[in-house]
Amino acid sequence: RIERQALMAITVEARSEPRLAPLTGLGNRRAFDEALAAAAIRSSRTHTDLSVIVADLDSFKAINDGYGLPAGDKCLRDVARVIDDAVRRPDSCFRWGGDEFVVVADVNREGAEKLAERVSAEVVDRCRRPDGAPVTLHVGTAELGEQGSDPSALLAAASAALKPTGGETLQ
């Protein structure tokens, strides 16, 4: 009986914890952790591909410092909307924190790289800094099979693979 009550309390707490980043409407870090863990289990059981894409906005601090926090918030909302529009529905995108976004995709490394290129191109085409220059990203990809079955290793590998895309980095 005590175990059941404890389980119920955990379930209620889990349901009450927010899973959306209020500014962007994307899943937050907690939602990402849960989604990646579930996707890794599913991928291992079904022998399907799973990759992660990490995207980091270039020179985001310069936007906040030079144009103010409302301009930075607008930039984050715009980029979040574009990334969400660019991914397929089976895939999920999240605001990892600050100026970082993560996509969990049911594709191999090659598919993740193509998706990252498409996301970067869409951001360059559709998102502008307050001075009118395009927003650019650093992106990194990693595939679960390359990292064993550890979701945290997958995220670390994608983060370590970050490289500039979509044009020159603006300072």
Angle (CA) 10 16 21, round 5°: 125
Tell me how far apart the alpha carbons of residues 111 and 115 are, in angstroms, rounded to a whole number: 6
Active site residue 65: no
Residue 162 buriedness (CB in 10 A; 0-12 / 13-18 / 19+) = middle
Catalytic residue among 65, 99, 125, 150: 99
Residue 139 buriedness (CB in 10 A; 0-12 / 13-18 / 19+) = buried
**Amino acid at site 9:** A
What residues act catalytically? Answer: 99
